Amino acid sequence: MITLTTDFGTKGPYVGEMKGAILSINPKAMLIDITHSITRHSVLEGSFVMEQVVKYYPKDTVHIGVIDPGVGTERKALIIEGDQFLVVPDNGLATLPLKHINPTAAYEIDIKKMEAIIGRKISSTFHGRDVFGPAGALLDLGYEPSRLGKEISLDEIIKLDLKPKQKDGKWILKVIYIDDFGNVILNLEDYERPKYVEVEGLKIPYLDTYGQVKKGELLALPGSHDYLEIAVNQGSAAEVLGVKVGDELEVRLWR
């Protein structure tokens, strides 16, 4: 089973080309499109989406993630082995899903080996089709990752700085995802339930679900992904707060 998470969009041939490259190696592969609509170049957004996916997939699933603004540069192409596999560029995309796969080893994919396997020169601008897709196809067939590249230390993998920070009794939190409803998800887990959440001076009730406030009103809640979430009942918290993925907010939890 292979999942696909990219920022390719659906207008062009890119998703189809990558799938073709996978199926030409592994015709029986079960391909699951998670999304191809990650905001262009948003590694943080892609990392959040991949994290949620790996939590619900079975052992040995291969997760291919291609949000890769550094394609063709010296950044590494990685296979990370654990209960499941991550096949991703080494740009921080693995940060959040790594928490859930019990990683045991990491490998830098050898471009020359991949060229020999696919039988043609690898494009410098489309590693989704020529590197990550074929590597995922081979892993799904049972190839050992060591056949595709050299082992590197797990400590070498680039990780985004997503540790919540505290200052003067407040949290400094990062927006790690905004869904299609405009719900704002912040990088805070494992916190004691508050009565109110103050966000940039706005004191918001902390409740269990959206319908507990009137239409158009703000609320905070635990959300379905175990992170602190800010929402508007039948509206967009992102629009009300004027935020985007990657922004930092001052947040105070009132008990």
pLDDT digits (tens, 9 = 90+) for 108-123: 999 999 999 889 999 9
Q: Which residue bears the tokens 């916190």?
A: 191
pLDDT band at 217 (very low <50, low <70, confident <90, very high): very high
149 and 33 share one domain: yes
140 and 172 share one domain: no
171 and 145 share one domain: no
Does residue 19 have a pLDDT over 90?
yes
Higher-pLDDT residue of 105, 223: 105
10 and 69 share one domain: yes
Cβ proximity of 37 and 10 under 8 Å: yes
Q: What is the pLDDT of residue 200?
A: 87
Helix runs in the chain, H state only: 14-25, 43-54, 111-118, 127, 133-140, 237-241
Does residue 188 have a pLDDT over 90?
yes
Between CA 171 and CA 169 the distance in angstroms is 7
16 and 133 share one domain: yes
Residue numbers of the domain that contains 177: 165-254
30 and 101 share one domain: yes
Between CA 248 and CA 184 the distance in angstroms is 12
Does residue 128 have a pLDDT over 90?
yes
pLDDT one-digit tens code per residue, 219-247: 999 989 989 999 999 999 999 999 999 99
Q: What is the DSSP letter of 198?
A: E
231 and 122 share one domain: no
Q: What is the pLDDT of residue 169?
A: 86
130 and 181 share one domain: no
Work out the mean pLDDT of the chain and round it to a whole number.
Answer: 96
Residues comprising the chain, all counted = 255
Q: What is the 3-state secondary structure (H, E, C) of 149-196?
A: EEEECHHHCCCCCCCCEEECCEEEEEEEEECCCCCEEECCCCCCCCCE
135: left (phi over 0), alpha (psi -120 to 50) or beta: alpha
Q: What is the pLDDT of residue 113?
A: 92
